[in-house]
Structure 1
Amino acid sequence: MAGGMRNLDPVIAVDGCAVGGEFQGKARPEGKTWLEGKRWEAGALRFCANLSRCSGGRRLSSATNALAATSRNFRQATRLLGLDSKLEKSLLIPFREIKVECTIPKDDGTLASFVGFRVQHDNSRGPMKGGIRYHPEVDPDEVNALAQLMTWKTAVAAVPYGGAKGGIGCSPAPDMGTNSQTMAWILDEYSKFHGHSPAVVTGKPIDLGGSLGRDAATGRGVMYATEALLAEHGKSISGSTFVIQGFGNVGSWAAQLIHEKVAR
């Protein structure tokens, strides 16, 4: 089951406490938080679509494997939960991993070759759901990590799905975003081989069985996460100042919904 394309995840940081993305903060004894030696002023909130361009933030080095980091975090959680070691090991093994290579004709008549990956991580809670990542350097470990994270996210949200993820090694620029039309194309191509299958992809147009509110859903999630994070620090969206970097589907909806909460 495919979802929308995500090139870079937004990152929320309030006083150095991060949710999502690859952030590293160091808490000081006096309560101040420093990121790479730079202090974030109390109450500051920053959304970063590209951490390498954000003051005080950085991406993990290439030596840090996404799958290893995700698995390490999972093991830490299992220790806190007291999970059985056999169950822990089984949950780290994906249900299925697929690699495909294809050469297709482009609109200008030339041929282009692409490598794609699909990891179906776990279906114990239902159909395995996860989007597709388009990036020139996407690799099996990254897709595996993202599929694993989808399993945990659907479980935490108590929705009846398992986790999966796909990746295609390509540069989507300059058309970086996807919309309901893109999802309709995915449905159309899949249906050519398997018959009409509207459940194969989310984010479809309403007249093809899509869900109301899907366009704003991810940005709304950013707003809710921001609201919860601020509440932990005794703050609220109302009256706070926000910096949002990246103004695609996620950033623009997050900005609109946060603005409606009387932010500035």
Structure 2
Amino acid sequence: MNRFFVDKQNIVEDRHQIFIDDQDDIKHIEKVLRLKKGDCIEICDGQNMEYIAQIIVLTKKRIELKILEKGTAKTEPPIQVTLFQGIPKAGKMDVIIQKCTELGIRNIVPMMTERTVVQLKDQKAEEKKVERWQKIADEAAKQCKRGVIPQIGLPKAFEEAVGDAREFDLSVIPYEKEGAFGLKHVTETKQSLKKIAIFIGPEGGFEEQEIVRASKAGIIPVTLGPRILRTETAGFVALSILMYALGDLGGI
């Protein structure tokens, strides 16, 4: 069954009704899926509540649905992971956002580091880029039936991102020169981990002084193994390890 996200205000529970007014969603339902009155779809409020709803009115500007079932989404992991991603070149960020959304990421914050090549010209350019990235997260969340849409933040400087580490129960920074501590060791020595941050550098990785700065802020350098991973791979690997160790990958 196809899933769509709507704003909480579009759900009127006391009347058992849901309204879809997003034009892209309406076109997709009518023109691509060719759904009609009486068909059912999944609706999610983006805050971990989901509904089975039946189409009762379908027009070009608005779709009205009747709530048949309601429940808590079962697709969200028990940990909230934020990825601070050094902005890579070309379309690599698109892939990072899509795949991390599938794996269960909660937030992605683009990050400017010493070795970041991509330069966003001004705030308007930043906002336009982030708007496109958010759409990628939205579509990926629909496809993999997430209960929450990961939020893509505005780009931050490395120093500002490091300052955010205090908000997390655990913050890690994969580094090719770190050979002693891996994510498994770190997660086994920490308890009650709910909010975790991963810091990933762009192409070329982090400068040594950035690792020193991160360590002083309590961010733990870790190894992801003996091989050098690309920036678009490192985040997947770190997130997968965390989801397997603390989340919901791999079952029991």
Q: TM-score, normalised by structure 1?
A: 0.24
Q: TM-score, normalised by structure 2?
A: 0.25
Structure having the higher strand fraction is 2
